[in-house]
Chain A
Amino acid sequence: MNQKYQIHPVLKVIFTFSLVILLSFSHNFAFVMTILVYTLFSLSLMKGNQILAILKISLWVSLFTFIILLPSNKYSSVMITVKVFTTVTTINMLPHSTKWSSITGAFKFFNIPDIFILVLDIAIKYIVMLGNHALQLIWALKLRSIGKNRDKYQSLSGIAGNLFIKSVEMSKEMYSAMECRGFNGKYITLEKKRLSMVDLLYMLIHIGIVILFFYIGKIVE
């Protein structure tokens, strides 16, 4: 259990997003590489199976990006691939290290309206569910169409349509299920928690990153 080193969810949410934003704005390779190293370091503090789960996704996504970008300029394709890898890893680390209920609680802390949290909440829950559903449909398609088959692509568009109808119904039903269990559209604010030494250290590192971003930006100009 790495429960002991839990970082305050509010800090976690702020700095994860600030990191992603800085990363997407940065044109500086040194800055991007620094963040990459930092991300890999924080990743190495997690549990083995979590590291594997996170890396699996980030590596696939980056590989995909790299292949798509390959025909373009070599420098920018490496840069973008590294950015994508780091962004996906950083975002993916958030739910692995912080409970989802604490994340919605952190949003609530910033006075984000419940309706926005709800949309985000359902969207995220449901991407996972839809992913599973799509996988099942694709398997069903594979089983029914053996060998090479031109109709496959047509069926794939059928899958997309089916998925859309299904998704509307599922999200409605999911909201009903939440209602049945006493949810009324209001998220609960986090229980108050004091900042620990680890939290302070975390904050310092991330403020350092923000300063670095602007400092490096100046040098380049």
Chain B
Amino acid sequence: MIEINDVSYSYLGIRALSHISIKIEAGEAVAIMGPNGSGKSTLLKLINGLIFPDTGCYRFQGQEITENQLQDPIFAKKFHQKIGFVFQNSDTQLFCADVYDEIAFGPRQMGLSESEIGKRVNDLLELMQLDAFHHRSPYHLSGGEKRKVAIACVLSMNPEVLVLDEPINELDPRTQRWLVDFLIRLNKSGKTLITSTHNLELVPEISTRSILFDENHGILADMQTQKMLLNTDLLIKANLVDEYYHIHDGEDHVHFHDHIF
């Protein structure tokens, strides 16, 4: 479904992706991990057609995605409908006057009728326990509520692929739990899930496969998440743990130490 072939990308001279090749099939749950600044967000932007490879090529469902291709409004609409992106920063993603309009924005662009849109929005508000926020302004919600609304906005277009950039950061433990369960359900229902995260505890739940970036913006490893978690050397290389990391009795019980003092 997603085919990235030897792609490199720089922001005005700043290297962000270096010879990346990845293949993702429909229905997979993939985690993107790596140190800060290694290029995770950049890769996700590329997958969503917001930036284009300097060299190499990106295909979505067999179709090469280029700037020219996305100039075609009909193609662009179809492409963006199939793939939804939840940004790292929810603030810029929310730009409507109230939560209802926010969730309705995508379906309106798709040209659905107002009554159908109303049904979709209300279903989502209920599903995501956002009923009370109908007429609230998105700017004045808490961080976790904003994240939920941002996810609802993307789901209202019923995409096949869901791309999330560090969705579990800044959420309280209960909301984290809720979101992880929600993502698992979405994946079970057939949606392809691509998530960037630093969270080692939750990564085995939201992914079966992990792609690890190194500091040089290349791919360090692409393997089963469970296997990756057992490979301490690899995790240290990717800045995901420090030398104090260990696993008890080989079970996937991982704990973290505070090294403040």
Contact present for A129 and B89 (CB under 8 Å): no
B17 contacts partner chain A, Cβ-Cβ < 8 Å: no
Of the candidates B85, B87, B97, B153, the one having the most CB atoms from chain A within 10 angstroms of its own CB is B97
Contact present for A101 and B108 (CB under 8 Å): yes
The stretch of A14-22, A178-186, A198-206 in contact with B is: A178-186
Interface string of B30-50 (1 = CB under 8 A from A): 000000000000000100101
A70 contacts partner chain B, Cβ-Cβ < 8 Å: no
* Bound CA–CA A89/B97 (angstroms): 18
A139 contacts partner chain B, Cβ-Cβ < 8 Å: no
A contact patch SS = helix
Q: Give the size category of A's interface with B.
A: 20 to 34
Taking CB as reference atom, which chain B residue is nearest A98?
B97
* Bound CA–CA A170/B94 (angstroms): 11
Interface string of A156-188 (1 = CB under 8 A from B): 000000000000001001101111111110101
Taking CB as reference atom, which chain A residue is nearest B135?
A1
B contact patch SS = helix
B contact residues around A179 at 8 Å (CB): 50, 76, 80
A181 in complex: contacting residue of B45, B73, B111, B157, CB < 8 Å: B157
Taking CB as reference atom, which chain B residue is nearest A177?
B93
Contact present for B101 and A100 (CB under 8 Å): yes
Total interface residues on B, CB under 8 Å, equals 30
A contact residues around B50 at 8 Å (CB): 176, 179-180
B133 contacts partner chain A, Cβ-Cβ < 8 Å: no
Taking CB as reference atom, which chain A residue is nearest B102?
A181
Interface string of B107-149 (1 = CB under 8 A from A): 0111100100000000000000000000000010000000000
* Bound CA–CA A176/B89 (angstroms): 12
A100 and B89 contact, Cβ closer than 8 Å, known pairs A180-B80, A180-B84, A186-B73: no
B227 contacts partner chain A, Cβ-Cβ < 8 Å: no
B contact residues around A174 at 8 Å (CB): 92-93, 95
Of the candidates B84, B110, B114, B139, the one having the most CB atoms from chain A within 10 angstroms of its own CB is B139
Q: Which residues of B contact A (CB under 8 A)?
A: 45, 48, 50, 73, 76-77, 80-81, 84-85, 87, 89, 91-93, 95-97, 101, 105-106, 108-111, 114, 139, 153-154, 157
User: Could you write out 20 A-B pairs with CB less than 8 Å apart?
Assistant: A100-B96, A126-B95, A129-B139, A132-B91, A173-B87, A173-B89, A173-B92, A177-B87, A178-B105, A180-B80, A180-B84, A181-B80, A181-B106, A181-B109, A181-B153, A182-B81, A182-B157, A184-B73, A188-B111, A191-B114
- A-B residue pairs, 5 tightest by C-beta: A182-B109, A181-B106, A173-B92, A177-B93, A125-B95
